Amino acid sequence: MPKFRPDLADIPVYVPGRTPEQIRRDHGLDSVIKLASNECPYEPFAPVVEAVARAAAGANRYPDDDSRALREALGEFLDIESSQLWLGGGSSELIHTTALAVGGPGTSAVYATPSFVLYRIASAVALAKAIEVPLDSEDRLDLDAMLAAIRPDTTVVYVCNPNNPTGTHVSAERLAAFVHAVPDHVLIVVDEAYQELATAEDFASAVPLALGRDNLVVARTFSKVYGLAGLRAGYLVGSAATLAELRRIQLPFSVSTLAQVAACEAIKHQDLVVARIEANRIGRQLITEDLGRRGLKVADSQTNFVFVRLPMAPADCFQALQERGVIVRDMGEGVRITVGTEQENQRLLDAFDEVLA
């Protein structure tokens, strides 16, 4: 056997959910709905599909490693300089690369728990000591506790806002106070994978803050509201100097030509984005209120999913729903449910009635 890193077995492995086809086959079901991976339930916009189809003929060539057209389009859309953008194969790749760039033996990383599992994985891969800070009693990030957890050896702090898996958010005022209080030598990564879907009046993006500081970057993705999860495109916003340093260890050609073309086209259709945000808000409200009426505790979500605490073991609920053709995500402390189409949401609620009975 080859000799591997001695800590390899201690690094958490991201485990994706099972596919609908697997569940359908295992349980003899006619149909299965997947509400587990926070995917957009709708296909990419029709003009995006057409643009990708046209670009597919050029897939024999390497993509533009600088993603110039996409950076310029995004810069114009966000009203920032293209040099303040860094593209990657989804925001996950950028977070992973960032962890490697600022981590190493003798460093530590601060993040909330439960939060996006990649922070734990990336910290372990980067050989950084993980400092996990529990959420507060409302399932929100405890920014005061996270600030207090920062040590002299801390090089990065991850702030998922809105948070995954709870869907909760922290206000713009609280986030700004936290950012200004973090020591200058600590990189703050604000993960805004779900920011387009947030409708709370006190929520605001951290992008304006990032443009004025060299220790703050904001991560975003095209996987959610734009429906491009299968193409892998994301970006970081921050100071040009900081992004240039972080990018040093990124693998070349990490954003495919098709992903670049799709993202460029997708941002042109903000009217369709607005319609999806509204459909998600309606579905999220329906699930939250209906499960609440069933006596379940549902976190205050600002995303395309809801986090539910149950009167039974989450694993048992997960299995019972799965047997009824509804795939959700078992998060240990509860289940996370992605907002689906109107029909999928109703099927979820009907299945919950059977499970709770």
Q: What is the pLDDT of residues 328-345, one digit of tens each?
A: 999 988 999 999 999 999
User: Is residue 2 included in any domain, yes or no?
Assistant: no
User: Is residue 3 included in any domain, yes or no?
Assistant: no
Question: Do 37 and 129 sit in the same domain of this protein?
Answer: no
Show which of 235, 266, 297 is a domain's final residue. 266
Q: What is the pLDDT along the chain (357 residues), one digit of tens a residue?
A: 888 888 888 888 887 777 888 888 888 888 999 999 999 999 999 999 999 999 999 999 999 999 999 999 999 999 999 999 999 999 999 999 999 999 999 999 999 999 999 999 999 999 999 999 999 999 999 999 999 999 999 999 999 999 999 999 999 999 999 999 999 999 999 999 999 999 999 999 999 999 999 999 999 999 999 999 999 999 999 999 999 999 999 999 999 999 999 999 999 999 999 999 999 999 999 999 999 999 999 999 999 999 999 988 999 999 999 999 999 999 988 999 999 999 999 999 999 999 988
pLDDT of residue 6: 84
Question: Do 220 and 337 sit in the same domain of this protein?
Answer: no
Q: If we measure between CA atoms, which residue out of 91, 65, 95, 69 comes closest to residue 254?
A: 65
User: Is residue 203 included in any domain, yes or no?
Assistant: yes
| Contact assessment for residue 33 and residue 325, using Cβ atoms and an 8 Å cutoff | yes
CATH, residue 78: 3.40.640.10
Question: Do 102 and 71 sit in the same domain of this protein?
Answer: yes
User: Is residue 35 included in any domain, yes or no?
Assistant: yes
Question: Do 197 and 295 sit in the same domain of this protein?
Answer: no
Show which of 266, 284, 299 is a domain's final residue. 266
Q: Give how many domains the chain has, as a whole number.
A: 2
Question: Do 150 and 291 sit in the same domain of this protein?
Answer: no
Q: What is the pLDDT of residues 201-260, one digit of tens each?
A: 999 999 999 999 999 999 999 999 999 999 999 999 999 999 999 999 999 999 999 999
Question: Do 134 and 253 sit in the same domain of this protein?
Answer: yes
Question: Do 29 and 135 sit in the same domain of this protein?
Answer: no
Tell me, letter by letter, the H, E, C secondary structure of the chain: CCCCCCCHHHCCCCCCCCCHHHHHHHHCCCCCEECCCCCCCCCCCHHHHHHHHHHHHHCCCCCCCCCHHHHHHHHHHHCCCHHHEEEECHHHHHHHHHHHHHCCCCCEEEEEECCCCHHHHHHHHCCCEEEEEECCCCCCCCHHHHHHHCCCCEEEEEEECCCCCCCCCCCHHHHHHHHHHCCCCCEEEEECCCHHHCCCCCCCCCHHHHCCCCCEEEEEECCCCCCCCCCCCEEEECCHHHHHHHHHHCCCCCCCHHHHHHHHHHCCCHHHHHHHHHHHHHHHHHHHHHHHHCCCEECCCCCCEEEEECCCCHHHHHHHHHHCCEECEECCCCEEEECCCHHHHHHHHHHHHHHHC
Radius of gyration of the chain (CA): 20
Question: Do 208 and 120 sit in the same domain of this protein?
Answer: yes
Spatial separation of the C-alpha atoms in residues 226 and 77, rounded to whole Å:
15
Question: Do 138 and 285 sit in the same domain of this protein?
Answer: no
Question: Do 55 and 93 sit in the same domain of this protein?
Answer: yes
Show which of 198, 232, 266 is a domain's final residue. 266
Question: Do 330 and 299 sit in the same domain of this protein?
Answer: yes
CATH, residue 310: 3.90.1150.10
Segments forming the whole domain that contains residue 68: 46-266
